[in-house]
Amino acid sequence: MRLAAKVYAVGNEKGGVGKTTIAVNVAAAAARRGARVLLIDSDATFRATQVLGVDPRTVPGTLADVYLQRRTAAQTIVPTAEGVDVLASGPELGEVAGKLAGLNYREFRLRLVLGAYLDECPYDVVFIDTPPSKGLLLSNALQVVDEVVCVLDMTDDGSVQGVVNTLLHIREMAAVPNAHVPTLRVLRNRVDERARSYRQIMDADALDLPGVCEQLGIDLMQIEIPETREFTNAAAERRPLVAIPRPASNRRLTAAVAALDALADELCPAKVAAA
């Protein structure tokens, strides 16, 4: 029996911590390493869709159509030039969140329309980019994922509270009968030892990050994503960083790509030789 796809949400209820950048880049890195990858864009600002070179105005449908059962996931997913398939987002996704609010089992709507597909989909790994706020789009995404990769921006101390808020959200949902309770791991992003804010977050006297994670029973990932302008440059070109030709001389860029590759390896289940 084939292993079911591993499904991750890339999240943090704090915005601007690099969720979309990490989601798109780890998806592209995994695809370049031979994995079959799906990215579901569940953020109504459809940034991940765009960075993968897809125009939400020209796709046959978006996640909003899947939510409203106007299309199935299989009819809506499109391939991209980066080797990652995408279930695109579009502006109408924002309105869907409003419509969900009036439904029964409103946190379970994505699982109802997508759960069976994810159990049997032809992918090794699925990443869901989530919106930076506690809302129904996030609650629904949490119901279909195995794990949440919570992105911690090491230059933004507000993102630590974002991790705690995300955990509180998961805890709240755990009380709902039938709710899935995903595990959570923390990924340090924008690691720059020279930055003053970074030292503050890592200062054991102020906040003992490994200690806090242990106390909360969550995994603090060893892999760290380094800070580099190249992420911004790549996003401006609407391409994942890993897809951009890189001069070996750019050590920060090389380090960033190596970290993304390592992350892809860790998140993508070992591929078993086909029987």
Partner 1 sequence: MTRRRLSAATLVGLEELAEAPAATDRDVGASVRRLTLDGDQLVVSLPLTSIRPNPHQPRRAFSEQSLRELADSIAEHGRVMQPILVRPAEPSARGDAAGFELVAGERRWRASKLAGQQTIRAIVDGVDNALSAEMALTENMARADLTTKEAARGCEALRDSFGLSYAQIARRVGRDRTAISHLTRLLQLPDRAQALIEEGRLSEGHGRILLRLEDHDARRELAILCADRGWSVRELERHVDARNAPPVAAPSSPPADQLAALQTLSESLEPVFGAIGVRIVPRRRGSYRIALDCESYDELAAIVARMRALLLLSAAEDDA
Q: Which residues of this chain interact with partner 1, rule CB under 8 A?
A: 4, 7, 104-105, 108, 111-112, 114-116, 118-119, 143-144, 146, 157, 160-161, 164-165, 167-168, 170-171, 174, 177-178, 180-183, 200-201, 203, 206-208, 211-212, 215-217
Q: Is 13 within 8 Å of 134 (Cβ atoms)?
A: yes
| Least distance CB 22 / partner 1 (angstroms) | 22
| Least distance CB 205 / partner 1 (angstroms) | 8
Residue 154: exposure state from Cβ atoms within 10 A (0-12, 13-18, ≥19): buried
| Least distance CB 72 / partner 1 (angstroms) | 14
3-state DSSP call for residue 214? helix
CA angle 106, 132, 197 (to 5 degrees): 150
**Cα distance between the two ends of the chain:** 10
Q: CA–CA separation, 200 vs 270, rounded Å? A: 36
| Least distance CB 177 / partner 1 (angstroms) | 5
Q: CA–CA separation, 114 vs 181, rounded Å? A: 17
Strand 125-129 to 37-41 pairing = parallel
| Least distance CB 97 / partner 1 (angstroms) | 19
Name the one residue in this structure whose structure tokens are 């609010």.
101
